[in-house]
């Protein structure tokens, strides 16, 4: 599980930084820390920087303690970054899956649009038939209308009895 953030990190986040800005700031800070450590190593390699032997021991002892503490924090930073990377990979995979599934899912039109479509197609067919043969179309539609009225009347008598 992820460790809890420090107060300084939360103060930085409260300044309304975006997550991208925050991660960029962490990256820049780690680069600066790396450059600082390289400079410190160069300073320690120069023997003229230390004036006395006793002072060397005190400085080296303090550096050793702070270096051990820094390594612990660097390990925690590495673990946190590794956790964040895997979590972001999972989120990215989920987002990709959601996008793909949204494309695959078919959205059916509502029932009234289906009825309007069928009515429009039927009307277009009847109009074409009427233009092609008006007498036959009129006689057939009249016959179908009469049979439909008889069917509705018989259904009404059956259901009301």
Q: What pTM value is reported for the model?
A: 0.46
Please give the pLDDT value at position 155.
94
Helix (H, G, I), strand (E, B), or coil: what is residue 61? helix
Please give the pLDDT value at position 3.
47
**Could you read off the pLDDT of 15-44 as tens digits, one per residue?**
677 888 888 888 898 899 889 888 888 877
**Residue among 143, 119, 120, 141 at smallest CA distance from 129:** 141
Calculate the alpha carbon distances from 115 to 39, 109, 124, 152 in Å: 78, 10, 14, 21
- Spatial CB neighbours of 17, under 8 Å, sequence gap ≥ 6: 25
**Could you read off the pLDDT of 92-111 as tens digits, one per residue?**
999 988 888 777 667 788 89
């Amino acid at each position: 599980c992820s460790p809890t953030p420090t107060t300084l990190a939360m103060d930085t986040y409260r300044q309304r930084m975006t997550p991208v800005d925050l991660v960029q700031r962490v990256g820049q800070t780690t680069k600066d820390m790396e450059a600082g450590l390289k400079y410190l190593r160069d300073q320690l390699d120069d023997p003229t920087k230390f004036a006395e032997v006793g002072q060397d021991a005190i400085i080296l002892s303090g550096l050793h303690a702070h270096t051990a503490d820094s390594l612990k924090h660097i390990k925690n930073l590495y673990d946190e970054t590794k956790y964040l990377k895997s979590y972001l990979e999972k989120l990215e995979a989920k987002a990709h899956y959601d996008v793909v599934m949204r494309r695959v899912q078919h959205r059916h039109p509502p029932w009234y649009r289906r009825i309007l479509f069928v009515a429009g197609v039927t009307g277009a067919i009847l109009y074409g038939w009427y233009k092609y043969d008006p007498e036959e179309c009129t006689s057939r539609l009249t016959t179908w209308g009469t049979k439909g009225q008889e069917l509705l009347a018989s259904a009404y008598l059956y259901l009301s009895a």
